[in-house]
A and B are shown apart, each in its own frame.
Chain A
Amino acid sequence: MPPENFSNIEQQVASLCEAHDCEPHRLLQILIQVQEIYRFIPPEAITSIARHLNLPRVSVEGAAGFYSFLSLEPAGNYRVLFSDNVTDQMVGNQELMRQFCSKLWLEPGKVSEDRLVSAAFTSCTGMCDHGPAALVNGQPLTNLTSDRIDLIADLILGKSPVSNWPSALFEVNDNIRKTGMLLDKPFVSGNAIGAVLARGPDATLAEIKLSRLRGRGGAGYATAEKWTGCRNAPGSMRYIVCNADEGEPGTFKDRVLLNSYADLVFEGMTVGARLLGCAKGLLYLRGEYLFLLEKLEGILKRRREDGLLGHNIFGETGFDFDIEIHVGAGAYICGEESALIESLEGKRGRPRNRPPYPATHGYLDQPTVVNNVETFACAAIIAFRGGKWFGKIGTWQSSGSKILSISGDCARPGIYEYPFGTSVQEILDDCGVDEAYAVQVGGPSGVLISWKELDRRISFEDLPTAGAFTIFKRGRDILQAVRNYADFFAHESCGFCTPCRVGTQLQKKIVDKIANGHGTASDLEELKHLGHLMKTMSHCGLGHTAPNPVLDMLEKFPGAYEQKLRNLSFEPAFDLDAALETARRITGRDDPAAHLP
């Protein structure tokens, strides 16, 4: 680990900014590098960056304060963030965190007094098939056990650089269990680009239309329509953006696509570039997947050398296109396309007011297409094999296949590709589930289904999903799962609009109150009321979907909360005994006399 050098912040920051051409759009990338060097963002660095990029200091501080992986306070030479998805909780992440903290004399969320180490929870890191997982200085730790926690604590106490830690701690596998039209055959780079050049852009766009391809990020907008809108919009420059900010808890299929099918994804972006006349592509890689960056940069380099990116691609004069990777820094909201664009521009990831839509006013106010990783993979396959071939798989409204990230209570978690229209029961049979009680389809923003609904099908017309598929066996506490999801939304709300900023907090507090045995019938009514407010008044999809798990539980799993309710119509949220907790902690007391009866 390089020694911290705070004496020459000005010099360090100046050279960093110059390496990014003092371009304000590179602000987030610069902040990420500052965080890597100092393990936090010192106030002097903020002032200096602002001066070099010619931005108001408040804008730099605003961006730095928005992203979870950037810290405005010292966070230790070793910053350990335990993934807190419900699947991590199922396999004991809370106990591991306690063990870690007690071994290192840490308080969760606070840095040790010697500024050596800090530990905290973070939202799902996309390692649900490798849980319990964590990040140390941005690198993924997988399959954590009590023994591994001891080892990690010893490595930290011995001040061993993370790069010297045993590689077994960082092992990430694809876990591909079932392949289909996308994952089946090895793809030969250049095949799709060659097909587009032979057929022409108009005819290829017609093939995409014929395929009835819909976006794989969840919302399911028709890809041909989105691309046509961007193509027809006036602008001096067009951009094609790949959304690899796979933040929905329980989803990890983009991790696998980028690890083993990156050529297919980049080829899809290049196909799009040819159709839309884009000269520049951007891939927004979630901060949790930083470990893929070097590999992806290498693939881009190879593709440039092979004439698949750069000038005169495939020998076609005037076909110029290249792809740049931007890294995120821990913000679920950046999966929302307009927030992602703001983040690409180096700003706080705050969803824009729409209209105008990105197709006409996107990145740098120019026509922009934002699509999911898997959508680009589909586009490449369609360009090569044709729309008719693609459209034969799946259902009429949901053509093609869907890659699912399966985790939770099953024998074989991992990646499964199915034709759209496959039933939940069939999927459960494949991944080895004895007695399913509930399945969260599409992550917390999706649908929580019960054991009575296993004949439902994965499709836009029934169960749309971006890919998360989290299984709960009989005996699992659904209230605990919903509590985890309520925490998640409260943590990830961007804070822009009132209903989501405050509503997600109120929802979390009430779910906590019920889980702690203080809930009453009026709290259930309040949850419905909050759900209505968030769904109808919020600014973007985060607020619209934040009440989904709670409302699904209220409707389908009354057993999960009924026995926890007090038999009263009202109980105050204020808990007198809990209010004494701070005093107990300060005085180090926990005896019966320090508690109220």
Chain B
Amino acid sequence: MNKAITIDGKTLPFEDGQTIMDAALTAGVYIPRLCHNPELKPHGSCKLCVVNANGRNVTSCTMPASDGMVVTNNTPELNEDRKALVQMLFVEGNHICPACEASGNCQLQAAGYYLRMESPHFTHFYPPRRVDASHPDIFLDLNRCILCELCVRASRDIDKKNVFGISGRGIDSHLVVNSESGRLGDTNMAVTDKAAHICPTGAILIKRKGYTIPIGKRTFDQKTLSEFHLGQVKQPEPDGE
């Protein structure tokens, strides 16, 4: 009666309705990811979690597991492609790790380390992007936004506020906030909102907290992205704070 899939030769049981990612997380098998957080509805946009299932590439955070599915995940080929995706995310935005408050707590940076990224490889886009300091407690820096929509989903589904959304198309896609002025300060966002603490990079920062934990003692100074993400199942607090 028990249904199971195999990932890289290891057999993992799953229940109906679970995705490949769910089954892997339950069993402690790591599939790299950036836009997925087990607390929120899967999104499937970053594509880091693409695996090969029965010969076809699929997005593991949205693809339902099915009995007998044969999945390959931790292969040099897939990890090379994942590294290229992380490099793409680096060059399409403005990510200056040494000068970023989120350095050491940033999942994009940690993904770079995890996948052994040594350079951005692609040509930088240097896009002009907005920063918004209008909110008394929260700083919004779109230079670092990777369009994972975790804040969009958290604000909509957990905070029930719909503070964030996406506008534009293609490379011009960008985060927008729920006010006619376009300023975060004119929304009803609060520093206690889930959405304020779910950004995997430094696009949403809490003011006056940037350096309370010194560099060297931050999340990814202590553990790898894999250890952090696998730990998320048991203690679902994505932010170190």
Chain A positions within 8 Å of B, measured between CB atoms, are 43-44, 46-47, 56-59, 61-62, 64-68, 331, 348, 353, 355, 490-499, 501-506, 509, 529, 532-533, 536-539, 573-574
Contacts and interface: CB of A to CB of B under 8 A. Distances in A.
B170 A490 contact: yes
Interface in B76-94: 81, 84-85, 88-89, 91-92
Contact of A494 (B47, B84, B122, B169): B169
B222 interface: no
Contacts of A65: 167-169, 176
Contact of A501 (B59, B64, B92, B162): B92
Interface string B129-170: 000000000000000001100000000100000111111111
B171 A505 contact: yes
B45 interface: yes
A202 to B, nearest CB: 31
B192 interface: no
A58 B180 contact: no
A66 to B, nearest CB: 5
Contact of B81 (A353, A492, A501, A536): A536
Contacts of B123: 506, 509, 573-574
A58 B178 contact: yes
Given A57-B179, A58-B176, A533-B84, A353 B42 contact: yes
Contact of A62 (B48, B125, B176, B179): B176
Given A47-B180, A536-B57, 7 more contacts: A494-B169, A499-B47, A502-B92, A533-B85, A539-B45, A573-B123, A574-B123
B171 A539 contact: no
Contacts of A353: 42, 44, 59, 62
27 contacts: A46-B180, A57-B178, A58-B162, A58-B163, A58-B177, A62-B165, A64-B167, A66-B167, A355-B64, A494-B169, A494-B173, A495-B166, A495-B171, A497-B44, A497-B45, A497-B47, A498-B47, A498-B48, A499-B47, A501-B171, A502-B122, A533-B81, A536-B50, A537-B47, A538-B47, A539-B45, A539-B59
A123 to B, nearest CB: 12
A532 B64 CA distance: 25
B16 interface: no
A573 B85 CA distance: 20
Contact of B171 (A46, A66, A490, A532): A490
B46 interface: yes
B88 A499 contact: yes
Nearest to A572: B123
Contacts of B84: 529, 533
A44 B169 CA distance: 21
Contacts of A44: 180
B118 interface: no
Interface of B: 42, 44-48, 50, 57, 59, 62-64, 81, 84-85, 88-89, 91-92, 122-123, 125, 146-147, 156, 162-173, 176-180
Contacts of B81: 532-533, 536-537
B166 A62 contact: yes
A495 B147 contact: yes
Nearest to A503: B88
Nearest to A47: B180
B169 to A, nearest CB: 5
B167 A502 contact: no
Contacts of B85: 498-499, 533, 537
Contacts of A493: 169-171
A495 B173 contact: yes
A543 to B, nearest CB: 9
Contacts of B165: 56, 58-59, 61-62
Contacts of A62: 165-167, 176
Interface centre among B63, B122, B178, B179 (most CB of A within 10 A): B122
A499 to B, nearest CB: 6
B166 A506 contact: no
Nearest to A72: B167
Contacts of B89: 498, 502
A81 to B, nearest CB: 16
Contact of B46 (A64, A68, A498, A509): A498
Given A503-B88, A573-B123, A495 B177 contact: no
Contacts of A491: 170
A532 B89 CA distance: 17
Given A353-B59, A538-B47, A495 B169 contact: yes
Contacts of B92: 501-502, 505
A31 to B, nearest CB: 12
Contacts of A46: 180
B65 to A, nearest CB: 12
Contacts of A574: 123
Contacts of B45: 496-498, 539
A66 B180 contact: no
A558 B62 CA distance: 40
Contacts of A57: 178-180
A490 B46 CA distance: 18
A504 to B, nearest CB: 7
B173 A505 contact: no
Given A56-B178, A58-B176, A536-B81, A501 B47 contact: no
A2 B169 CA distance: 30
A492 B170 contact: yes
A348 B166 contact: yes
Nearest to B163: A58
A495 B172 contact: yes
A370 B87 CA distance: 37
Nearest to A44: B180
Contacts of A492: 170
B164 A58 contact: yes
A46 B169 CA distance: 18
A32 to B, nearest CB: 16
Given A58-B176, A355-B64, A506 B170 contact: no
Contacts of A67: 169
Given A44-B180, A355-B64, A505-B92, A66 B44 contact: no
Contacts of A537: 47, 50, 57, 81, 85
B88 A506 contact: yes
A355 B92 CA distance: 30
Given A64-B167, A490-B171, A533-B85, A539 B162 contact: no
Contacts of B88: 498-499, 502-503, 506
Interface centre among A492, A496, A503, A532 (most CB of B within 10 A): A496
A496 B168 CA distance: 11
Nearest to A333: B169
Contacts of A503: 88
A56 B48 CA distance: 30
A56 B188 CA distance: 12
B125 to A, nearest CB: 7
B125 A505 contact: yes
A506 B91 CA distance: 10
A539 B122 CA distance: 21
Nearest to A67: B169
A66 B168 contact: yes
Contacts of A533: 81, 84-85
Nearest to A43: B180
Contacts of B172: 495
A502 B91 contact: yes
